[in-house]
Structure 1
Amino acid sequence: MKNNILNLGLTNCIKLVAVVLIAISQYAWAGDFNLPDLGTPSDSIMSPTKEKEIRDSIINQIYEYDLVMSDPIIADYIEQLGYRLAANSSNPKAPFDFFIVNNNVINASAYPGGLIVIFSGLFLKTESESELAGVVAHEIAHATGRHISRAYANIKKTMIPTILGMVGAALAAQYSDSRDAPIAIAAATSALQQQSMINFTRSNEYEADRVGISTLKKAGFNPMGMAGFFGTLLSEQPIDKKYHAPEYSRTHPLTINRVSEAKNRAQEASVSEYTESELYPFVKERIRVLTKHIEIDSINYYRKLFNDKDKADISNAELYGHALALHHANKNSEALAVLKPIETTNQTALIIAILEANIITALDWDKGSKMFASFYKMYPENPIVIEPYIQILVKNKNFKNTKKARLLARALVQLYPQNANYYQLLAVTNQNASKSIEANEALAMKQHIIHNNYRAVRILKNILKDDLDYYQRARIESKVTEFESLITAKERTREIMEEKTGRRRY
């Protein structure tokens, strides 16, 4: 049976085109991106079923092209922030999913079905957790206000919208020193030729500001966070229209009146005390390092930063980022020296300890693995501990480590059964243990989680060709029956076409 694990990589150009095609919330698309029929233009609002179909399709694409920042510390942080805000929104029972996308564009997107996507570039642009929370609260308000559903409901199904041309141009500039630049520029040109945008109305934006500020206050953040960040973006809008404003300003138009009204509302809702996580600056520096294409760029960033600052002004989070950059460049002794002086708090101690353990593991595997084992005893259900523990076990293959890694990965998917990345990790650990049936079964589960049931069924049917025992066959046949019932007509058509043309992406 063909091993699917070895065919998981995607080139930068494919990822780039995928970002250009799917990243911005004010657009929908059809055809190769397999979104469902949105109904007729006369529909005033989409049904929850159609919302879910679009949400599932977009989640499939952002996983398909490896756009999600799946680092457990980053993913856990944005989920906790998002859920804290959603619980204090105008519809606290509404389902939401929160992702950070690895791209330097300054934007955030809300999609039908409660899908919120934050670009890494926007995260890095914020100066406080309340500013970041302000953006997320604004997007949540668009979702709970059904602004997105109303906008999408009016798209003709024959339209093939694309993102704003300047986003493509920004991406082309981002990769202009690579061989992928021509593809990026082509994508930008295509985007410039399309005018099928979905814009939120002015009243939508004002309503999202008002509701979002209320959510910020209820969630215990500084209500001025949203207005402050919008004011920063407004101040950076060029007077000369031939220069490009930050993408968020283009998809969520900012005016002096709108920002002023947001500030007035925030002042009315002002609080004497608010709570921000001490993790925010550390996660921000982690994103800064993990989104650099060249490792030395991160190191040079921190060296220049420290040269321009007095030693007393260097933050613990910046030291953390520098140590992480050095670790990723395999300068582990230097990384350990940078990390040692960092002062920890109850909130930051674990992520700092995990970085230290990773660094020590690179220098002395036995010592580092013992640190991870002790962390696991203290935090047996924490993914930011379990995932890196599995990763170090996978890198040092022997019978004992392979067995332990497999057990941990199985525990991880049991704890978090809706996390696609953990099924990928389970597939790797099963393959290392020469459990090819279980490995491919895990890959099928990953495809199911990201709403690609056609592929999941293909993988499972391939497994059925093998010599299985009674229980394995019964389990897999049951999944085939379940997943086949979930395959959409458009998904089936797309996959058949890809098989015929040899364009299958897995």
Structure 2
Amino acid sequence: MRHASPYRKKTRKYITRVLHFSASLLFGLATAFPLQAADTDLPSLGGVGGGLISEQQEAAIGRQVMQSLRRSTQQIEDPLVVDYLGSMVYRLVPYAPLQNRDLSLVVIDSPEINAFAVPGGIIGVNGGLFLNANTEQQFASVLAHELAHLSQRHFARRLEQQQTSTPMTIAGMLAGIILSAVTKSDVGIAAIAGTQALAIQNMLQYSRSNEQEADRVGIDIMADAGLDPHGMPEMFEIMMRQNRLQGGQPPEYLSTHPLTQSRVSDSRSRANQYPVKKNGDELEYHLVRARLQVHYAQSAEQAAESLQAMLDSNTSGTPDAAIRYGVAVANLEAGKIEAAQSIIEALLRENPGRITYQVTLADVLTKRKQYDQAIELMSKALSRNPRNYPITYALATAHYEAGNGRQAAELFGQLTQRFPSYVNLWLNLSDAEGLARDIVGVHRARAEYDILMGDLEAAGRQLREALNKVPPGTPVREIVTQRLTQVTKALEQQRQQ
């Protein structure tokens, strides 16, 4: 893991990047060809037809936003973090008034507070949201709020209100949103000054009525999901406090979600209409939060010292098990593998069935090159928890490190079928296929990676290389041929724009 933030770039580089994004986003709005790595279309949320943004355009926007995020931002791919976010979102989703509940999630690798929802069913959060939300209820309140924006189509409707907007204006605006996800919002707005910056700035900011509606719907979602709605005003207080500490320079989130004291009061009044939930946070939230605290620390050693001091003082309100786990993760990152293993094994004795502990122990064993033990541990865990993402990933990694290319490729292949939009899985599959000496498999996996990154020319080259190596008359040749035809068609359409 890295411990230094990668977001201290010059504004000039961002301007160049945004212009590139604008072109790619314009293409996404102009074509409905949904070429993604074995992926299904992203959902569009809202009514049929009418207005500037149709359902098909919303889906195209979503695909292009995801593509641009992949190309422009560092993302957190830690399976335990990604899996937790997914579990929390889909705990809330059944109670959100969404027409289509097939969402795409992304975790941006930034310590700033931010979260966003854009047309096409995309929910994104910064890693910094975990750092600043002290409780699971507070964290969930931001997700519920974003789901509310998405369900009410606030963003799409604001686009529709701009009757004079052109596709390029929309593209430039969305590029600014992407930029705002990785830096300060004012930089994102400045970078798109050439695309009606004032109109875009207005549209980046949700209206007061939009925010109030999202607060109301979000609180209802939380309550119905069995979470404590009081987490929302608590999270608002944290944001306002950070705003004051930063001398009036608001966190990223407040740049697009204006927050006033009256909103805090209104959310608290509405939350008070529900009884306080006696069941507290799940431990899993605090375990994931501890992983990210280590990730964003100046060094693993510093993280271990800080967490140990927190444990000794016993005043943080964080469960001791989560703090101990954080110390173990920090020790693992610092190369103190035996110390990490001792803590994890102790935690497992206290809570033998917890998947996070088991996966982390497998990571420890893999780093100690005790591959057989790691494989046995994860194989047993997978038999008890079929299809679990972190377990499958850890098992595949252990097989790969042990030199078992075929087993690793099979497992990574299963994951790409279930999570076809995760670019890291395609790279891992490509490496595993290489270890297994399946050159056709390498080219096919690399092609899917290139498609997700928007490089259709590279994808075509990979598929042609695969085709040259596949015997005639085989099922694999037919599959590769069909995929190459799709890529070629999409590339032709792109060149005509």
Global fold match (TM > 0.5):
yes
Cα contact 1:35–1:53 (8 A) shared by 2? no
Cα contact 1:292–1:298 (8 A) shared by 2? yes
Correspondence 1:248 to 2:240: no
Residue in structure 2 matching 1:220, options 216, 226, 230? 226
Identity of aligned pairs, percent?
22
> What is the count of residue pairs matched by the alignment?
458
Correspondence for 1:464: 467
Residue in structure 2 matching 1:338, options 337, 343, 355? 343
Correspondence for 1:7: none
Cα contact 2:5–2:111 (8 A) shared by 1? no
Correspondence for 1:36: 28
Correspondence for 1:269: 274
Residue in structure 2 matching 1:131, options 138, 143, 147? 138
Correspondence 1:102 to 2:109: yes
Query: Given residue 389 of structure 1, which amino acid in structure 2 is its aligned partner?
Result: L
Cα contact 1:38–1:156 (8 A) shared by 2? no
CA change 1:270–1:12 in 2 (3 A) is closer
Give structure 2 stretches of 5+ with no counterpart. 32-49
- Please give the alpha-carbon distance, in whole angstroms, between the structure 2 residues aligned to 1:488 and 1:301: 55
Deviation at 1:254, TM superposition (A): 0.7
- Please give the alpha-carbon distance, in whole angstroms, between the structure 2 residues aligned to 1:134 and 1:252: 14
Correspondence for 2:434: 431
Deviation at 1:143, TM superposition (A): 0.8
- More displaced, 230-239 or 69-78? 230-239
Correspondence for 2:237: 231
Correspondence for 1:199: 205
Query: Given residue 149 of structure 2, which amino acid in structure 1 is its aligned partner?
Result: H
Give per-residue Cα distances to partners, 1:351-384, cap 9 Å, x unaligned: 1122122213333333333323332333342221
**1:383-402, aligned counterparts within 5 Å?**
383-397=389-403, 401-402=404-405
- Please give the alpha-carbon distance, in whole angstroms, between the structure 2 residues aligned to 1:313 and 1:53: 42
Correspondence 1:476 to 2:469: no
CA change 1:32–1:46 in 2 (3 A) is closer
Correspondence for 1:83: 90
CA change 1:347–1:121 in 2 (3 A) is farther
- Please give the alpha-carbon distance, in whole angstroms, between the structure 2 residues aligned to 1:129 and 1:477: 48
Cα contact 2:447–2:460 (8 A) shared by 1? yes
Cα contact 2:243–2:250 (8 A) shared by 1? yes
- More displaced, 138-147 or 462-471? 462-471
Deviation at 1:339, TM superposition (A): 2.7
Correspondence for 1:279: 284
Deviation at 1:148, TM superposition (A): 0.9
Correspondence for 2:153: 146
- Please give the alpha-carbon distance, in whole angstroms, between the structure 2 residues aligned to 1:451 and 1:169: 23
Correspondence for 1:70: 77
- More displaced, 402-411 or 343-352? 343-352
Give per-residue Cα distances to partners, 1:22-70, cap 9 Å, x unaligned: 9xxxx9961255563489xxx8451111111111011112223463322
Deviation at 1:441, TM superposition (A): 0.4
Cα contact 1:89–1:140 (8 A) shared by 2? yes
Say what the alpha-carbon RMSD is for the aligned residues: 3.8
**1:180-199, aligned counterparts within 5 Å?**
190=191, 195=198, 196-197=200-201, 198-199=204-205
Deviation at 1:424, TM superposition (A): 2.3
Cα contact 1:295–1:325 (8 A) shared by 2? yes
Cα contact 1:77–1:283 (8 A) shared by 2? yes
Correspondence 1:367 to 2:359: no
- More displaced, 223-232 or 352-361? 352-361
Correspondence for 1:403: 406
Query: Given residue 83 of structure 1, which amino acid in structure 2 is its aligned partner?
Result: Y
Deviation at 1:229, TM superposition (A): 0.5
Query: Given residue 265 of structure 1, which amino acid in structure 2 is its aligned partner?
Result: R
Correspondence for 1:288: 293
Give structure 1 stretches of 5+ with no counterpart. 1-10, 172-184, 495-506
Deviation at 1:114, TM superposition (A): 1.3
Q: Secondary structure at the match of 1:434?
A: coil
Q: TM-score, normalised by structure 1?
A: 0.79
Cα contact 1:285–1:321 (8 A) shared by 2? yes
- Please give the alpha-carbon distance, in whole angstroms, between the structure 1 residues aligned to 2:183 and 2:415: 40
Residue in structure 1 matching 2:363, options 348, 354, 358? 358
Correspondence for 1:6: none
- More displaced, 150-159 or 51-60? 150-159
- Please give the alpha-carbon distance, in whole angstroms, between the structure 1 residues aligned to 2:305 and 2:321: 18
- Please give the alpha-carbon distance, in whole angstroms, between the structure 2 residues aligned to 1:345 and 1:448: 45
Deviation at 1:488, TM superposition (A): 7.9
- Please give the alpha-carbon distance, in whole angstroms, between the structure 1 residues aligned to 2:397 and 2:332: 15
